[in-house]
Amino acid sequence: MLGLDAAEIAAGLNAARRRSSGRLEIVERADGVTVVDDAYNASPESMRAGLRAAKALAGNRRTVAVLGAMGQQADASRARHAEIGRLVAELGFDLLIAVGPGDPVAMAGEAAASGRNVSVHAVEDVPAAVTLATALLRPGDVVFVKASSEVGLGACARALAGA
């Protein structure tokens, strides 16, 4: 293929390095917590896909979602954030930490109103999210972290991965 044999292709793939962090990056901590850092960016489609991927990865393990705002949603923003809150509950996440003012509050409200067994928390900013998540995580949990990049949840994911 393209003048390369299988060994050359394999060597090239083995030498490949990640170009950017926060794109479904998985970190396993020593205590068994799995941090899924998908905080590079967020849209409704990528949020839904990431939540489903995290649940699939978790299997029967407890799941935690740390979610912030999805940018560029214009007039539909509140409804789209609410939809994600409903999905968190429908997928069976155990815990939701909604980060930031505004539309993430709608996300938390929908998850809380779902009637499902999801513990919901809303915090103002990334440091508060790190503090709360650190206090609530248990060995073996899978924690999914996602928001638009301007929210800064990548710092939360890195802090949780290093905890």
Q: What local confidence, expressed as pLDDT, does residue 41 receive? A: 73
Q: Which domains does the chain have, with CATH numbers?
A: 21-162 (3.90.190.20)
Residue 38, C-beta contacts closer than 8 angstroms, at least 6 positions apart: 22, 23, 24, 25, 46, 50, 144, 145, 146
Please check whether residue 77 is in contact with residue 70, taking contact to mean a CB–CB distance below 8 angstroms: yes
pLDDT tens sequence across 12-50: 666 655 555 555 678 899 999 999 998 877 788 888 889
Q: What local confidence, expressed as pLDDT, does residue 14 receive? A: 67
Task: Answer whether residue 113 shows pLDDT above 60.
Answer: yes
Name the least confident of 14-18, 55-59, 82-86. 14-18
Q: What local confidence, expressed as pLDDT, does residue 73 receive? A: 60
Q: Which residue has the higher pLDDT, 5 or 72?
A: 5
Q: Residues 101-129: what's their mean pLDDT? A: 82
Task: Answer whether residue 126 shows pLDDT above 90.
Answer: yes
Q: Which SS3 state, helix, strand or coil, does residue 142 take?
A: strand
Mean pLDDT of the chain: 84
